[in-house]
Amino acid sequence: MTATTASLTINENDELLAHDFNRLVKSIASEDKMYAHPDNAHSHLRSTVFGIEKTIPVSNGKLILGTWQRLILWEFDTKNRRRKLIISVGGD
């Protein structure tokens, strides 16, 4: 994914955990703080902290994830964006 205001994470896709994650994100880079970058600096900072790419093993055409693990795209920007995921598969 090529994004400067979104992040890709691997975690449990649970509503209460998502709420906790949002609270954590806001404590790290609050919308209420003054930043030098106009409009959406907090979105860029959040994406930088949580990252935009992941490496996940694949076996027999399936992602190898834990029982509760899911890929989650977090959109931090202040307006809706269309995102394109770029998936690269490598191996022997």
Instruction: Write phi, then psi, for 74 (nearest 5 degrees).
Output: -100, 120
- Label residue 92 by pLDDT band (50, 70, 90): low
**C-beta separation of 7 from 74 below 8 A:** yes
Task: Give the chain's domains with CATH numbers.
Answer: 6-75 (2.60.120.460)
- Output the pLDDT for position 49: 94
| Stated pTM of the model | 0.84
Confidence bin at 69 (pLDDT 50/70/90): very high
CA-nearest of 81, 86, 87 to 5 is: 81
d(CA 64, CA 43): 30
Question: Which among 62, 81, 65, 61 is positioned nearest to 73, based on CA atoms?
Answer: 81
